[in-house]
Amino acid sequence: MKFAPCSKESLSAPTGKKVAIVGAGPAGLTAAGHLVCMGHEVVVYDMMPEPGGMIVFAIPDFRFNKEPIYRGIKELYNLGVKFVLNTKVGKDVALEELMRSYDAVVIATGTWKSSKLGIEGEDLNGVYYALELLVDVGLSKRGYKPLHEIPSFEGKRVAVIGGGDTAVDAARTLLRMNAGEVLIVYRRTKEASKAGPREIEKAENEGAKFIPLTQPIRFIGEQGRVVGIEAIKMRLGAPDSSGRPRPEPVPGSEHVIPVDSVVIACGERATPPPSCEKLGLKLDKWGCIITDEYGRTNIEGVFAAGDVVTGPSRIGPAMVWGRKAAKAVDEYLRTGVWPSLKEDAP
């Protein structure tokens, strides 16, 4: 995967400008590749032990071949991009310090926080979140986390709540962890899922059972551990704001699904550096950083790109954001011009 549009021989002459990029996912890596080709010194900070973000650590290896990604990252190293790993900006190093030390900062920290259902019993033992589980498995496969530190699902009846890519990835991962039975419990149908029917059918072909039009009401516990899901049947109504049919509860259809464990996969939320609001960086009601169409924030010299701006998306759109932000950073570093962020910026 090409994160940089140049070779070492075609690098632009050094500009003397330094750019810090926070986050080594597809948006951050793409911005880094373009900026280093433009002649800027680029340093990428990331909380993980390797660059790549969720592509490397959260998306399972069985989904696609990651070798092109590793080659793209190696190319960035060869071009002179520097990486500061195992370092969380806002905790291990202050965002304010980066703003003082660099000529521009690009925040590309993605969506590393799981959305909660907010129902009774969500804090019971045996209830997990898919993103954290997938990352733990990814860390283990790359040799950074002992297998015994990951929960065992061997022989267990596990319900995955959700119908997106993360839910399907979690279900297929659980099957590879020798779960006894894996249920995908979703409030819509296969056709209305974000993952799409083909991805769900892959999980079914591997042994998962899809339970459509079913919404958890609460998790039932015994002695502090989950043993069941009280759920209600749903029917599809008029389209909601997402354009998909709105699920509506069917009165009197409450029922219990016995389980040994639950894995919640109901979306992820943006994770900007924790100090950014104190510095005056504007966020929207979902916690995403507000920018203009080129990634410029309301603070001069600070840009944002990728899922931390848009919410969860895919690799392609994140890389497009990285390219756009790099172009805007380069323009700013060469001209010093900083347009005001409009209040109605997307």
Tell me the average pLDDT across 273-281.
91
User: Domain segments of the chain: what residues?
Assistant: 8-111+270-335, 116-267
Determine the CATH number of domain 8-111+270-335: 3.50.50.60
Q: Reduce the DSSP state of residue 45 to 3 states and report it.
A: strand
- Residues linked to residue 339 through DSSP beta bridges, in sequence order: none
What phi and psi, each to the nearest 5 degrees, are found at residue 132? -65, -40
**Residue 336 burial (CB count, 10 A):** 9
Q: In angstroms, rounded to a whole number, what is the distance separating the alpha carbons of residues 159 and 183?
A: 5
Q: In angstroms, rounded to a whole number, what is the distance separating the alpha carbons of residues 287 and 233?
A: 31
CATH superfamily of 116-267: FAD/NAD(P)-binding domain (3.50.50.60)
- What is the number of residues in the chain? 346
pLDDT of 341 reads: 67
Q: In angstroms, rounded to a whole number, what is the distance separating the alpha carbons of residues 300 and 104?
A: 8
Tell me the average pLDDT across 8-17.
97
pLDDT at residue 146 is higher than 90: yes
- Give the confidence band of 344 by pLDDT, cuts at 50, 70, 90: very low
| pLDDT 10s digits, 196-248 | 999 999 999 999 999 999 999 999 999 999 999 999 999 999 988 878 889 99
Q: Looking at this protein, which amino acid is placed at residue 306? A: G
Tell me the average pLDDT across 152-167.
97
Q: Do domains 8-111+270-335 and 116-267 have the same CATH topology?
A: yes
Note the pTM of the prediction, 2 decimals: 0.94
Tell me the average pLDDT across 289-318.
96
Cα separation values, 74 from 2, 51, 92, 268, 319, Å: 10, 10, 25, 29, 17
What phi and psi, each to the nearest 5 degrees, are found at residue 92? -85, -30
pLDDT of 345 reads: 45
Is the distance from CB of 291 to CB of 284 less than 8 angstroms?
no
Q: Angle between the 26-37 and 67-79 helix axes, to the nearest 10 degrees?
A: 40
| pLDDT 10s digits, 169-204 | 999 999 999 999 999 999 999 999 999 999 999 999
**Residue 39 burial (CB count, 10 A):** 16
pLDDT at residue 343 is higher than 60: no
Is the distance from CB of 163 to CB of 247 less than 8 angstroms?
no
pLDDT of 245 reads: 87
Q: Which residues, in sequence order, are CB contacts of 165 under 8 Å at separation 6+? A: 194, 195, 199
